């Protein structure tokens, strides 16, 4: 399907610089753009590519002024990022949608599946499960006894939702994620072995949550592990039992959050962060990559390092650490002078 520059500018409220009749049928990065492609320039460090790209149309900011000739047609916009998001959402909505219930799916007679759901091959939906309107259950998904899946939610291939868990509306759970496996609870015995502590709770995932591939959210020992609305979890994240993550918090890949920890709302957790058990992380907290959090963090704080320090203290400490070899050399030289 083709769109002209005039059509795109009209849709986004942009101003055309160049040929308004030029058409595109695909999207690309600015450095890899080919004829017939739409691309964009939102980061100034990529400006050099706008002069060499073969893309037919480039979205740019209203304040962009080329330093040399640009072959592509430009569409100037107040917010390039939001414009690109709008276009990608439209493109995604136009893709063919999965429909129907496969004859090779195993659906319990005691399960409730809305008529307009998609259920793929070899998906299993157990007794008492309720699948909301417009949900998409891809092949080889397992939905356990009594699980509730909200309207508009998508479970990609291989997702496993253990018994009794709840997933809200308009969630996306990517391939291989496991929701509701047992929390890691064992009681040491005098002989050095362990007794398993039964994990009797569940997982509650509220609306508009996205969970990445191969991420695991463990069920609670009692009560619930809770992922609040709007949370975005990357791939390969481990959420322990009885954890609660506040609304609109975002976490990058390979983060691990140990049991009974509470993370506030609107936090940003970078990759490979480790948070110890029974810690309370406040609201609007930012934690840098590979940081280790073993103590409570107040609202609005920034943490770096392992064990993590307040942001400014970490930067000061790191500045000293870099100078240690030179400081050692100078101390040695001073010692020699004193000895003389």
Q: What topology is assigned to 3-94 in CATH?
A: 3.40.1390
**Which residues make Cβ contacts (< 8 Å) with residue 91, sequence separation at least 6?**
27
Contact 172, 154 (CB under 8 A): yes
> Which single residue is written with the structure tokens 């009797």?
200
Average pLDDT for the chain: 95
For residue 277, the model assigns a pLDDT of: 96
pTM attached to this predicted model: 0.85
% of the chain exceeding 90 in pLDDT = 86
Q: Which residues, in sequence order, are CB contacts of 284 under 8 Å at separation 6+?
A: 264, 265, 266, 267, 299, 300
pLDDT bracket for residue 319 (50, 70, 90): confident
Closest to 18 (Cα-Cα) out of 64, 65, 56 = 56
Q: Are 173 and 155 in contact (CB under 8 A)?
A: yes
Separation CA 171–CA 10 (nearest Å): 32
Q: What is the pLDDT of residues 164-196, one digit of tens each?
A: 999 999 999 999 999 999 999 999 999 999 999
Dist CA 4 CA 23 (whole Å): 4
Quote the tokens at residue 226: 């809770």
What band does 28 get if pLDDT is binned at 50, 70 and 90?
very high
Quickly state the pLDDT bin for 325 (edges 50, 70, 90): confident
Catalytic residue ranges: 241
Residue 215 has what pLDDT?
A: 98
Please give the biggest Cα pair distance in the chain. 93
* pLDDT confidence of residue 312: 83
* Residue 121 reports pLDDT greater than 90: yes
pLDDT for 120 equals: 98
Q: What is the reported pLDDT for 89?
A: 86
- Model pLDDT for residues 265-312, shown as the tens digit of each residue: 999 999 999 999 999 999 999 999 999 999 999 999 999 988 777 878
Under the banding of pLDDT at 50, 70 and 90, the label for residue 97 is: confident
- Calculate mean pLDDT across residues 44-72: 95
Residue 334: per-residue pLDDT: 92
Which residue ranges make up each domain of the chain?
A: 3-94
Range with top average pLDDT, 220-224, 312-316, 326-330: 220-224
If you ran DSSP here, which 8-state letter would residue 226 be given? E
């Amino acid at each position: 399907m083709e769109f002209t520059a005039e059509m795109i500018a009209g849709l986004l409220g942009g101003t055309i610089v160049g040929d308004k009749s030029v058409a595109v049928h695909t999207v690309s990065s600015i450095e890899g753009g080919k004829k017939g492609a739409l691309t964009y320039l939102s980061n100034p460090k990529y400006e050099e590519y706008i002069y060499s790209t073969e893309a037919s149309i480039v979205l740019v900011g209203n304040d962009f002024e080329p330093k040399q000739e640009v072959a592509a047609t430009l569409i100037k916009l107040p917010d390039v990022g939001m414009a690109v998001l709008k276009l990608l959402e439209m493109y995604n909505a136009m893709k063919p949608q999965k429909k129907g219930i496969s004859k090779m799916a195993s659906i319990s007679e005691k399960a409730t599946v809305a008529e307009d759901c998609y259920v793929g091959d070899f998906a299993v939906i157990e007794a008492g499960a309720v699948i909301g309107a417009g949900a998409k259950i891809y092949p080889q998904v397992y939905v356990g006894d009594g699980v509730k899946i909200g309207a508009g939610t998508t479970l990609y291939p291989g997702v496993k939702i253990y018994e009794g868990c709840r997933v809200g509306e308009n969630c996306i759970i990517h391939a291989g994620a496991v929701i509701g496996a047992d929390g890691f609870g064992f009681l040491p015995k005098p002989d050095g072995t362990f007794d398993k502590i039964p994990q009797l709770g569940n997982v509650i995932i509220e609306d508009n949550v996205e969970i990445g591939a191969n991420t695991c959210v463990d069920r609670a020992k009692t009560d619930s592990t809770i992922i609040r609305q709007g949370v975005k979890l990357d791939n390969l994240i481990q959420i322990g039992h009885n954890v609660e993550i506040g609304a609109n918090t975002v976490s990058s890949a390979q983060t691990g959050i140990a049991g009974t920890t509470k993370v506030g709302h609107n936090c940003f957790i970078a990759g490979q962060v480790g948070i110890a058990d029974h810690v309370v992380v406040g609201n609007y907290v930012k934690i840098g990559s590979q940081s280790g959090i073993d103590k409570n963090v107040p609202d609005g704080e920034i943490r770096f390092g392992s064990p993590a320090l307040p942001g400014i203290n970490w930067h000061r400490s790191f500045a000293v650490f870099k100078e240690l070899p030179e400081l050692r050399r100078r101390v040695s030289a001073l010692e020699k002078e004193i000895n003389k």
